[in-house]
Chain A
Amino acid sequence: DAMVIQNPRYQVTQFGKPVTLSCSQTLNHNVMYWYQQKSSQAPKLLFHYYDKDFNNEADTPDNFQSRRPNTSFCFLDIRSPGLGDAAMYLCATSREVGTNLLNTEAFFGQGTRLTVV
């Protein structure tokens, strides 16, 4: 059974039209991550939640926001998608203890492939 579920698998949005990607987990992990992965590249961390604490990467554009209403769910909001935001968006979870993320084992969802038209 899938433990990290991302919906939808494929999303087409119009240039400039806000879009939300969702992620849910059944693992009860305290950390959730959002990554952006462009074609033939490694994933790039956008931000993560450590419990309710939001941690933004320094180079994540303001166009990207996130919400985590509870342990199980996390959302990625793209306020005004541009053509350059077309990518695979990966959600991941891990269970971490302490102030440093040890990445003990990150579980990834299948991703949402976003197309901007």
Chain B
Amino acid sequence: AQKVTQAQTEISVVEKEDVTLDCVYETRDTTYYLFWYKQPPSGELVFLIRRNSFDEQNEISGRYSWNFQKSTSSFNFTITASQVVDSAVYFCALSDVDSNYQLIWGAGTKLIIKP
């Protein structure tokens, strides 16, 4: 069965530090998609990235970067030079054939950036 594990329940760092949020997934399918969403205190979920299983290229978007490694079934998310506005809950999610492409969510990691 599919599973997404975000082992870090809560991370607290001081502003300007780099921080990595871990995501490990399980799936039997060779075709699948991985996602990261941000949920700030205001409540809405903000889409950050979608990556398909055939594209292992790492992605960088400003201060955000993602490291996709199929060998370890991981899709980690790094924020460089963190800012207070990055404080939020971050969810990693998976969709695959078995789930009929419904999102399988991790439990989320609460990130606290202290000024």
The chain A residues found within 8 Å of chain B, CB to CB, are: 4, 40-43, 45, 88, 90, 92, 100-111, 113
Contact = CB atoms under 8 A, between A and B. Distances in A.
B43 A111 contact: yes
B84 interface: no
A47 B47 CA distance: 20
Interface of B: 33, 35, 37, 42-47, 50, 91, 95, 97, 100-103, 105-108
A48 to B, nearest CB: 8
A43 B44 CA distance: 11
Contact of B44 (A42, A101, A103, A111): A111
Given A102-B33, A109-B44, A110-B44, 11 more contacts: A42-B91, A42-B106, A43-B91, A43-B105, A100-B97, A102-B95, A103-B33, A103-B95, A103-B101, A103-B103, A105-B50
B11 to A, nearest CB: 15
A93 to B, nearest CB: 11
Contact of A45 (B35, B102, B106, B108): B102
19 contacts: A4-B44, A41-B108, A42-B106, A42-B107, A43-B45, A90-B43, A90-B44, A90-B45, A92-B45, A101-B100, A101-B102, A102-B33, A102-B101, A103-B33, A103-B50, A106-B45, A108-B44, A111-B43, A113-B43
Given A41-B107, A42-B107, A102-B33, A107 B102 contact: no
Given A42-B105, A101-B100, A102-B101, A108 B33 contact: no
Contacts of A104: 50
Contacts of A42: 91, 105-108
A26 B50 CA distance: 22
Contacts of A45: 102-103
B41 to A, nearest CB: 11
- Which of A40, A42, A107 is packed against the most chain B CB atoms within 10 Å? A42
